[in-house]
Amino acid sequence: MPRRKLIKERVPTPERPPEERIKDFKEVNLGYTFELAVREAERCLQCPYEYAPCIKGCPVHINIPGFISKLVEYRNDPDKAVKEALNVIWACNSLPATTGRVCPQEDQCEMNCVMGKVGDKINIGKLERFVADYAREKGIDEELLFEIIPKIEKKGQKVAIIGAGPAGLTAAGELAKLGYDVTIYEALHEPGGVLMYGIPEFRLPKEIVHKEIEKLRKLGVRILTDHVVGKTVTIEELLQEYDAVFIGSGAGTPRLVNAPGINLNGIYTANEFLTRVNLMKAYLFPEYDTPVYVGKKVIVIGAGNTAMDAARSARRFGAEVTIAYRRGEEDVSAREEEVEHAKEEGIKFVYFVNPVEFIGDENGKVKAVKFEKMRPLEERDARGKRKIVGTGEYITLEADTVIIAIGKHPNRLIINTPGLKVERGKIVVDENMMTSIPGVFAGGDAIRGEATVILAMGDGRKAAKAIHEYLTKKRQEKANA
Amino acid sequence: MPYKILDKKELAMNEVMYKIHAPHVAKKVQPGQFVIVRAFPNGERIPLTPVTWDREEGWITLITFVRGKTTMRMANELKPGDEILNVAGPLGNPAPMEKFGRVLAIGLITGIVEVFPIARAWQEIGNDVTTLHVTPNPMIILKEDFENAVSRHIVEGFDLQPGWGMNEIAQELVKRATAKVRELLENEHFDMVLTVGPAGAQKAIFNVVKEFGIPMHADLHPIMVDATGMCGACRVTVGGEVKFACIDGPGFDAYKVDWDELIHRTGFYAPLERLALEHYLKQLQAQGGEQ
């Protein structure tokens, strides 16, 4: 490998200024141009494939130095560079425009990047995003797709996928590429799961999700929307029609604060608030028919990514927004970039407060939240976070809108399937991602509880491999019989 | 996934019936269950109840009360042969299918459409079902269908007075419904009461039924968005616990429901609903009116 000069500082990506971006739902980060992407790509030390810690950190094990090197190698031919890079990414990840935007890279691929020892880590996420965006804008992804499609050898076996979120879409893409006849059953009117209803436009434009899903349709994946598995059709019925089933139904049931007044008007779960805003485009009301009520003072309870998304969305309606968290600043679980963006956009943070009562007015509308002040202990819980205890002191904050973002459970409609082993609300799978029902596999938040988009995609990919093995055995048994 | 409108009829004033090709719902739906419909690309998701269905032919009928932007836009813009963008379901739990004995099933205004499949099924499994429809006279629907399906069908209609708005209609509805229910319960024996309709009127009926100590099953109509249990917009307090009407209901034991909370929650969007309707009416005006 040629010796090259170390460039310690990361090439920045342009961002829209806070005062401008809080007035709309357009994307905050504008991404790299080809020139900037090549400059960032040149910083990569090109660790060998077997060793590269970034690849190990990526849940779907994208050959990161591999795709980055293409940008440098073909720097004089941007289209060629992007096509080659996309080809490397697609081997492991069908939704790079999405993951490049929403993955917590600092905890995954970028976490162990060697460059971090001498300077800034390589901006892997933004490079992945650049490749996907440029390819989409130039139609390079289509070109590549049409080269892949004729090479697919049909297997003649059918797989049903429950849920069109990141896990289901990934499994579907992998299985379609392997030649299986794939049908996704989706309860909502749009595929995408949390990518459509949860993550706001200013982080992940819905147009991009649409286009990434369109690619899967071109690979032959059939998507049945409006089908609620457990109601429209049961898993037992799917097993009669399909050779295997994958459950990627996510963790869509919101957890509620167990405190008096939770059903007052103006108190939303983050899921309801974000679904209205993102999926139903309530921010364009009355051009869009779905309303949403956002008051002048909004309190968001929780400090995960969902809380940041809800807070920043509410801010875009012109509200004064406060995030109230029962632990401290160091315990916040949201991505650093999102917390930074939230602060830049003027969102306030209050730490060590736990809601104990929602106070309403005479019309049943919330007007304040009473919190108990908490304090941290030295002792840590299973996730390594400091335990907290109440102090017996209270504080009341005014609010005319409250958004609860304290987590989610897997959907009850699915986990009530007879014969499906479930522990603490999560579907139990073996090392091959198979559930207690033979031929039924599961992954993503349905088995993990609330996790990340990329972990769900990693599960989808792993399950697709396991399903492939399972169905290959089935084919062989049939041939031998 | 678009679903074709096979037929559309105005059954009465502001009562529109749509017959829709939706085989996935028709195959599975049980009395008490509902669907979520999204009719337009920029539209909202609204809950509606399949009234009749044919499992083999794959259709369901829905009857809407034209009361806001979405239902008015559907009534104005959709024609037979057009497609509805989304029909998701069946959703919710089926109504309990038991032999209660003598049943009084009450539908308030368009609530009667939800009563129909349940009352008919209850009659079929051996209950003696009396249905009661309380509604303004110009909105009487399904009269013959009920007469053919249950032991006895009573229509308690009332005339609309000039200048009445929704409030006056609601007051008259409550007055008529409670008086008629009281009369029936005083003179006859019933083992079970079912109600479907606006939360305020259901509560008023419950207060009468409670005096007689008769079990009562109420189908609730909170605001819904996804209706698959993922958002909690439809949460209600039942027996002191928070329940999601879309997956735990929509039917509940009326004795356990926190009626006042339900009434508050159902009205939360009224100002924005009015705004949406006004916006639509202005659009219509700009296009040269309804014709």
Does position A239 have pLDDT exceeding 70, yes or no? yes
A412 contacts B247? CB cut-off 8 A: yes
Residues A214 and A115 placed together within one structural domain of the fold = no
Distance from CA of A408 to the nearest CA of B (A): 9
Last residue of a domain, one of A148, A171, A201: A148
**DSSP state at residue B41:** T
Does position B14 have pLDDT exceeding 60, yes or no? yes
A293 contacts B89? CB cut-off 8 A: no
In chain A, residues with a C-beta closer than 8 Å to the C-beta of B276 are: 285-286, 289, 291
Does position A351 have pLDDT exceeding 60, yes or no? yes
Distance from CA of B91 to the nearest CA of A (A): 6
3-state secondary structure at position B49 = coil
CATH number of B102-265: 3.40.50.80
Residue A3 lies in a domain: no
In chain B, residues with a C-beta closer than 8 Å to the C-beta of A281 are: 42
Q: Which residue of A has its CA nearest to B276?
A: A286
In chain A, residues with a C-beta closer than 8 Å to the C-beta of B24 are: 224, 226-227, 232-233
Task: Work out the pLDDT band at B289, boundaries 50, 70, 90.
Answer: low
A to B CB pairs, distance under 8 Å = 132
Q: Which residue of B has its CA nearest to A405?
A: B231
Residues A397 and A447 placed together within one structural domain of the fold = no
In chain A, residues with a C-beta closer than 8 Å to the C-beta of B264 are: 264-265, 363-365
Distance from CA of B260 to the nearest CA of A (A): 9
Does position A1 have pLDDT exceeding 70, yes or no? no
Best A217, A238, A279, A290 member to test B by mutation, with max B CBs in 10 Å, is A290
Q: What is the pLDDT of residues B131-160, one digit of tens each?
A: 999 999 999 999 999 999 999 999 999 999
* A185/B70 Cα distance (integer angstroms): 27
Chain A residues at the B interface, defined by Cβ less than 8 Å, are: 187-189, 197, 224-228, 231-233, 252-254, 256, 262-266, 268-269, 271-272, 275-276, 280-281, 284-291, 293, 363-365, 411-413
Best B226, B280, B281 member to test A by mutation, with max A CBs in 10 Å, is B226
In chain A, residues with a C-beta closer than 8 Å to the C-beta of B89 are: 226, 228, 231-232
Q: What is the pLDDT of residues A390-420, one digit of tens each?
A: 999 999 999 999 999 998 888 877 878 889 9
pLDDT score, position A381: 82
| Closest Cβ opposite residue B69 in set A268, A284, A289 | A289
Last residue of a domain, one of A148, A183, A205: A148
Q: What is the pLDDT of residues A241-268, one digit of tens each?
A: 999 999 999 988 899 999 999 999 999 9
Distance from CA of B262 to the nearest CA of A (A): 9
Residues A32 and A95 placed together within one structural domain of the fold = yes
In chain B, residues with a C-beta closer than 8 Å to the C-beta of A228 are: 88-89, 91, 228
Two tokens, residue A346: 């003027």
Two tokens, residue B226: 């996804």
Residues A424 and A359 placed together within one structural domain of the fold = no
| Closest Cβ opposite residue B231 in set A189, A269, A413 | A269
Q: Which CATH number fits domain B3-91: 3.65.10.10, 2.40.30.10, 2.60.40.1840, 1.10.3720.10?
A: 2.40.30.10
| Closest Cβ opposite residue A226 in set B86, B225, B237 | B86
Residues A271 and A383 placed together within one structural domain of the fold = yes
Task: Work out the pLDDT band at A386, boundaries 50, 70, 90.
Answer: confident
Is ipTM > 0.85 here? yes
Contacts of B245 (CB under 8 A, 6+ apart): B92, B220, B222, B224, B234, B235, B236, B252
Residue A4 lies in a domain: no
What CATH number should be reported for the domain holding residue A283? Answer: 3.50.50.60
Q: Which residue of B has its CA nearest to A186?
A: B88
Mean pLDDT of A431-454: 93
Last residue of a domain, one of A383, A408, A433: A408
Residue A297 lies in a domain: yes
Residues A47 and A84 placed together within one structural domain of the fold = yes
Residues A347 and A304 placed together within one structural domain of the fold = yes
pLDDT score, position A9: 93
B236 contacts A263? CB cut-off 8 A: yes
Q: What is the pLDDT of residues A27-47, one digit of tens each?
A: 999 999 999 999 999 999 999
In chain B, residues with a C-beta closer than 8 Å to the C-beta of A276 are: 225
**DSSP state at residue B80:** T
On whether B231 is known to bind a ligand per the annotation, the reply is yes
Q: Which residue of A has its CA nearest to B229?
A: A253
Residues A39 and A130 placed together within one structural domain of the fold = yes
Asked if residue B234 lies in contact with residue B222, where contact means CB atoms within 8 angstroms, the answer is: yes
Residue A69 vs residue A92, higher pLDDT? A69
Two tokens, residue A189: 């009117």
B1 contacts A271? CB cut-off 8 A: no
On whether B234 is known to bind a ligand per the annotation, the reply is yes
Residue A13 lies in a domain: no
A412 contacts B28? CB cut-off 8 A: no
pLDDT score, position A3: 54
Residue A1 lies in a domain: no
Provide the domain limits for residue A121.
18-148
Residue A213 lies in a domain: yes
Mean pLDDT, rounded, of chain B = 94
Task: Work out the pLDDT band at A2, boundaries 50, 70, 90.
Answer: low
Residues A235 and A266 placed together within one structural domain of the fold = no
Two tokens, residue A160: 């049903």
Distance from CA of B28 to the nearest CA of A (A): 6
Q: Which residue of A has its CA nearest to B275?
A: A286
Residue A12 lies in a domain: no
Q: Quick one: three-class SS letters along chain A?
A: CCCCCCCCCCCCCCECCHHHHCCCCCCCECCCCHHHHHHHHCCCCCCCCCCCHHHHHCCCCCCHHHHHHHHHHCCCCHHHHHHHHHHHHHCCCCCHHHHHHHCCHHHCCCCCCHHHHCCCCCCHHHHHHHHHHHHHHHCHHHHHHHHHHHHCCCCCCEEEEECCCHHHHHHHHHHHHCCCEEEEECCCCCCCCHHHHCCCCCCCCHHHHHHHHHHHHHCCCEEECCCCECCCECHHHHHHHCCEEEECCCCCEECCCCCCCCCCECEEEHHHHHHHHHHCCHHHCCCCCCCCCCCCEEEEECCCHHHHHHHHHHHCCCCEEEEECCCCHHHCCCCHHHHHHHHHCCCEEECCEEEEEEEECCCCEEEEEEEEEEEEEEEECCCCCEEEEEEEEEEEEECCEEEECCCEECCHHHHCCCCCCEECCEECCCCCCECCCCCEEECCHHHHCCCCHHHHHHHHHHHHHHHHHHHHHHHHHHHHC
Q: Which residue of B has its CA nearest to A224?
A: B1
pLDDT score, position A414: 82
| Closest Cβ opposite residue B85 in set A187, A189, A289 | A189
Residues A429 and A419 placed together within one structural domain of the fold = yes
Does position A335 have pLDDT exceeding 90, yes or no? no
Number of domains in chain A: 3
Task: Work out the pLDDT band at A380, boundaries 50, 70, 90.
Answer: confident
In chain A, residues with a C-beta closer than 8 Å to the C-beta of B226 are: 187-188, 197, 275
- How far are the Cα atoms of A65, A108, A437 from residue A61, in angstroms, in the given order? 11, 10, 29
Residues A195 and A277 placed together within one structural domain of the fold = no
Residues A245 and A274 placed together within one structural domain of the fold = no
What are the beta bridge partners of residue A430? none
A187 contacts B233? CB cut-off 8 A: no
B42 contacts A228? CB cut-off 8 A: no
A188 contacts B229? CB cut-off 8 A: no
Task: Work out the pLDDT band at B291, boundaries 50, 70, 90.
Answer: very low
Q: What is the pLDDT of residues B48-88, one digit of tens each?
A: 999 999 999 999 999 999 989 999 999 999 999 999 999 99
Q: What is the pLDDT of residues A49-78, one digit of tens each?
A: 999 999 999 988 999 999 999 999 999 999
Two tokens, residue A263: 């059903």
Residue A87 lies in a domain: yes
What are the structural domain ranges in chain B?
Answer: 3-91, 102-265
Other beta carbons within 10 Å of A78: 18
**DSSP state at residue B42:** T
